[in-house]
Amino acid sequence: MFNFFVSKLKNIRVWFYYLRLNRFRNNLFTHIIAFSKKKESYEYRDEIEFIRKNGLSVFPYSFTTKYSSLEVTVNYEDGYPFVNHNGNRFFFKKGWTEGKVKKYYSGLLSEQDIDSPHLYCDEIFNAGGAEILLDIGVAEGSFSLDQINSVKEVVILEKDDLWVDALERTFKPFKDKIQIIKKFASNTDSFDSIRPQNLPSLWNKDLFIKIDVDGDERKVIQGLENLLKNNQPIRIALCVYHQQDDYNYFVNYFTSIGYSISVSNGYMLYLFDKKIKKPFFRKGILRLTKVLS
């Protein structure tokens, strides 16, 4: 009987969670439509029109439809699901269902579509020729896998044991040029965190750094600060959409320490931020290049 009531309580909590989520998103849609009537919304007119016709979307663009019914073949090895990604076996967490893998993988491809505001690199700005790629905010490791043949070495920071297990399988063919550090990047050193600037191998090298850490970007930059100011070639693809003011904050910061800046095209609607406010739409990626003295 006790377990019955516990199960019922969990179901009620889930029901209330989705009720609140739907209410939040309905309110957000209403606020965006109201915002569309103001002059300052003109810059986002295409994104708003997409949302008006199709509903809320993190990427309010038609390119996303290419991935809504993508054919994805999922295989398994020792319980680890994997797909063929550009000729490489690309693993996911053990125990993931076929449906979950397909949805996740389709999302990755959509995120890095040529028209996506979340595109880390383009023909001009990329990791090509870097001595070290430092991947911060790795999870499944898709970015490192895509760049593995363009750089001399890849250093991955990832704390999640289940992801680390999958990463070790994905990068087994490249074990001579991959280093997986089981810590997360931050502004402190501890049992499970590290300031990346304390990795000796990163100093005085041609670096490419990717940072996508779900809102902890400022802590990571603090943990890189001394390295970022060093007079060495550094390129950074930095997510700036997780928090409302990150774009302006990081543009000002990197301008002050001598980086040239370009920005990914378009805008994102990061509807997972419950503090989101006007103008609602945010730039996705800053592409930063150290100006050497």
Whole-angstrom distance, CA of residue 232 vs CA of residue 243? 29
Q: Report whether the peptide linkage leading into residue 279 is cis, meaning its omega lies within 30 degrees of zero.
A: yes
Tens digit of each residue's pLDDT (9 = 90 or more) over 144-170: 999 999 999 999 999 999 999 999 999
pLDDT score recorded for residue 17: 45
Give the total residue count for the chain: 293
Residue located via tokens 């289940």? 162
46 in Cβ contact with 52 (< 8 Å): no
| pLDDT greater than 90 at residue 22 | no
Superfamily of domain 122-267+280-290: Vaccinia Virus protein VP39 (3.40.50.150)
Q: Decide if 83 contacts 72 (C-beta within 8 A).
A: yes
Q: What is the pTM of this model?
A: 0.91
Summarised one tens digit per residue, pLDDT across range 194-245 is: 999 999 999 999 999 999 999 999 999 999 999 999 999 999 999 999 999 9
DSSP string, 161-216: HHHHHHHHHHTGGGTTSEEEESSEE-SS--SSEE-GGG-GGGTTS-EEEEE--TT-
Low-confidence winner among 8-22, 94-108, 253-267 (lowest mean pLDDT): 8-22
In tens, the pLDDT along 107-144 reads: 999 999 999 999 999 999 999 999 999 999 999 999 99
Q: Where are the domains of the chain?
A: 2-57, 122-267+280-290
| Nearest in space to 179 (alpha carbons), one of 214, 212, 153, 146 | 153
pLDDT, the chain, mean? 93
- For the segment 42-46, the average pLDDT, to the nearest whole number, is 97
Is residue 240 exposed (0-12), middle (13-18) or buried (19+ Cβ within 10 Å)? buried
Helices (H), the chain: 2-35, 45-54, 98-111, 142-147, 161-170, 217-222, 225-229, 246-256
Measured between alpha carbons, how far is residue 154 from residues 26, 82, 175 in Å?
A: 43, 21, 10
